[in-house]
Amino acid sequence: MHIPVLLHEVITALEPKPGNFFIDGTLGGGGHAREIIKKISPGGVFLGLDADKHAIENARRELESLGKELGSDVFVRHGSYTEIQDIKKEKNLGKADGLLLDLGLSSNQLEESGRGFTFMKNEPLDMRYDASDNRNNLTAEKIINGCAEEELADIFWKYGEERKSRQMAKAIVTARKKKRIETTADLLEIIGERRNQKTRIHPATKVFMALRIRVNSEFEHIESIMEQLPSIVKGKTAIISFHSLEDRLIKEGFKRIEKEGWGSIQTKKVIKPSYEEIRENPKSRSAKLRVIQILSSRF
């Protein structure tokens, strides 16, 4: 089960109140959403999105009935947070009082998706959040078997900061001449099992993360939502990331919004999970939360 990270910090920062309109752009298992709906009720409006159709099937039922019980309108939609503006228009919704993005993967996707997000299981190398989207048929398998050696090395370096990116790309290209690399186990066999002596990080960690980020255009989506924020929200936006490069994009995006006069950064220092939270949920250890208050509206 997915445990929502920095839940208390997110709710404190976003200050959802009865009657507010809130958006959760990365709904997942609905952990944050549940608390937001309770706070905006009665009379609130909630829009929850997720790029992964399967991820939201269970959350949808539960959140819609919670909304009914508490007297708020709850809409759950399959889609990317980069499409919020179109989805809002469809539903005739104005600017939101608050927006949450909790980036990356949920534990449910790691444990149950069968799409090769983790090297702990032997699964096909897909890694798309939205395997039903005909616009994105780029899978990790296509990248691993189709990209030139240099391109592979660039992906591992740019999205995973993998220091042995060239060495790994070379090993992959050599191996795929003999046999197509189709599963997480195939890839793991090539990358090897020896953990970094100092960090204890498994050698496949960064390669798997880099592939997932590339397959789902995750950096591009962050850049796109940064551009759109002042048109979507008239209140606060909270973004949780788990990757230093993502955090940098968010930090720079917020700075740009502030410089242009659209917002005021609320987290001069990034918020991290407490020692207690990390002890209870070790997966939260790399989470970073940044918050911005959007000041005026753009049309």
Binding residue positions: 30-32, 50, 81, 102, 109
Query: Does residue 102 bind ligand SAM (CB under 6 A)?
Result: yes
Select from 9, 20, 31, 277 the one that contacts ligand SAM (CB under 6 A). Answer: 31
Q: Could you say whether residue 30 binds ligand SAM (CB under 6 A)?
A: yes
**Shortest separation between residue 108's beta carbon and ligand SAM, angstroms:** 8
Between residues 82 and 165, which has the closer beta carbon with respect to ligand SAM?
82
What are the helix (H) ranges across 71-215?
Answer: 84-90, 107-112, 140-146, 149-160, 165-178, 184-191, 204-215
Listing from the earlier edge strand, what are the strands of the sheet with 21-24?
73-78, 45-50, 21-24, 96-102, 233-241, 288-294, 263-265
Stretch 170-209: interaction string toward ligand SAM, x if CB under 6 A: ----------------------------------------
Angle (CA) 183-184-186 rounded to 5° is 65
Question: Cα separations (Å) of 56 from 29, 78, 134, 242?
Answer: 7, 7, 19, 21
Q: Which of 14, 37, 45, 55 binds ligand SAM (CB under 6 A)?
A: 55
Distances (CA, A) of 42 to 18, 39, 64: 6, 8, 14
Among 22, 46, 129, 208, binds ligand SAM (CB under 6 A): 129
Interaction site with ligand SAM (CB under 6 A): 2, 4, 25-26, 28-32, 49-52, 55, 80-82, 102, 104-106, 109, 129, 216, 221
